[in-house]
């Protein structure tokens, strides 16, 4: 149950991120090096970290817009249609002739764990000029989210613009990579999972003390507000005013593919700009991701606000 009420109004959210067509191979267990195994079945669905986050925000009633890029191909048409189906503004999704639409191959085992291989394609071909064309959109937002499936220099340009207009910026550093100089200075909140946090700070996440150490290292790197997600254990948070840990809801996971993205998208829809309701927003995000992992696929698994309220009433 939520401790108190979330705000009635949701945020205007802009997501700058990736659009991928996901191919999921369902297998009994992960292959060993050099081993050939048979897939039990194969499914295709819309995905990409950016798309997942945007759909999660939209299904939590955030007014959501997308900045991204696809190829001039059927996969690109498929991804734009998938966003529009959830009422997401796609006016700032550009189409390129230089690269194909991004894609991902997901190995999903019977325990619900996955390994993901991503082809960036049009996502990685994005240029910073798309951001100058999106200034009005960004300026009107409450929250701008980005991750590392699109070029960091594009995110940096977008975040600088967002800060000029007083817009909250949330960085999901996934997949983990060296953060380019300057990006954290225009980031209000960084949201890595435990593996990404270790990669970025060099400090292993084992307990609350080690999470505090990670937060201190991030502060030394220039970012004060941190959320570290730790899978089925929950989420740690640290801001300039408070820190704590919100436990996850215990469920049987079938597919964890979009869990972290659902968490971020749902959180972005509800959090206040001053983080005054951060614990409630985190509880809501945990509820959303707990439903996602019980379903198959990326976009199809993401719940609506109504489903979350019905499940955790």
What distances in angstroms separate CA 260 from CA 225, 230, 264, one per listed residue?
Answer: 18, 10, 6
Q: Is 260 annotated as a binding residue?
A: yes
Residues 13/138, Cβ–Cβ less than 8 Å: no
Q: Is 244 annotated as a binding residue?
A: no
Q: Is 22 annotated as a binding residue?
A: yes
Q: Is 3 annotated as a binding residue?
A: no
Q: Is 50 annotated as a binding residue?
A: yes
Q: Is 100 annotated as a binding residue?
A: no
Q: Is 231 annotated as a binding residue?
A: yes
Residues 122/71, Cβ–Cβ less than 8 Å: yes
Q: Is 51 annotated as a binding residue?
A: yes
Q: Is 34 annotated as a binding residue?
A: no
d(CA 40, CA 122): 30
Tokens 């995000």 belong to: 285
261 is catalytic: yes
Q: Is 255 annotated as a binding residue?
A: yes
What distances in angstroms separate CA 7 from CA 92, 213, 273, one per listed residue?
Answer: 28, 31, 12
Q: Is 121 annotated as a binding residue?
A: no
Q: Is 172 annotated as a binding residue?
A: no
Active-site annotation holder among 86, 142, 188, 261: 261
Q: Is 142 annotated as a binding residue?
A: no
Q: Is 57 annotated as a binding residue?
A: no
Q: Is 313 annotated as a binding residue?
A: no
Binding site feature residues:
20-22, 48-52, 149, 193, 229-234, 255, 257, 260-261, 292, 295, 297, 301
Binding site feature residues for ATP:
193, 229-234, 260-261
The residues annotated as belonging to the active site are: 261
Binding site feature residues for K(+):
255, 257, 292, 295, 297, 301
């Amino acid at each position: 149950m939520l401790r108190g009420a979330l705000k009635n109004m949701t945020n205007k959210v802009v997501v700058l991120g990736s659009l991928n067509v996901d191919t999921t191979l369902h297998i009994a267990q992960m292959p060993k090096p050099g081993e050939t195994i048979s897939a039990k079945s194969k499914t295709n669905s819309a995905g990409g970290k950016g798309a997942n986050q945007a759909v999660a925000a939209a299904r939590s009633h955030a007014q959501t817009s997308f900045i991204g890029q696809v190829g001039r191909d059927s996969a690109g048409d498929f991804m734009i249609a998938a966003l529009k189906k959830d009422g997401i503004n796609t006016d700032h999704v550009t189409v390129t002739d230089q690269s194909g639409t991004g894609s991902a191959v997901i190995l999903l085992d019977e325990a619900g764990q996955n390994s993901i291989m991503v082809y960036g394609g049009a996502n990685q071909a994005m240029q910073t000029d798309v951001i100058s064309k999106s200034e009005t959109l960004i300026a009107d937002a409450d929250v701008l989210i980005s991750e590392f499936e699109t070029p960091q220099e594009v995110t940096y340009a977008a975040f600088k613009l967002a800060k000029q207009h007083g817009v909250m910026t949330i960085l999901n550093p996934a997949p983990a990579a060296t953060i380019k100089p300057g990006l954290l200075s225009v980031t209000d909140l960084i949201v890595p999972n435990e593996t990404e946090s270790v990669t970025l700070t060099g400090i292993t996440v084992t307990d609350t003390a080690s999470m505090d150490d990670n937060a201190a290292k991030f502060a030394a790197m220039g970012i004060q507000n941190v959320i570290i997600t730790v899978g089925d254990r929950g989420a740690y948070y640290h801001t300039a005013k408070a820190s704590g840990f919100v436990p996850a809801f215990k469920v049987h996971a079938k597919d964890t593919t979009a869990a972290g993205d659902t968490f971020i998208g749902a959180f972005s829809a509800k959090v206040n700009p001053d983080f005054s309701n951060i614990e409630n927003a985190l509880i809501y995000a945990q509820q959303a991701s707990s439903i996602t992992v019980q379903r198959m696929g990326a976009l199809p698994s993401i719940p609506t606000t109504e489903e979350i309220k019905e499940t955790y009433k």
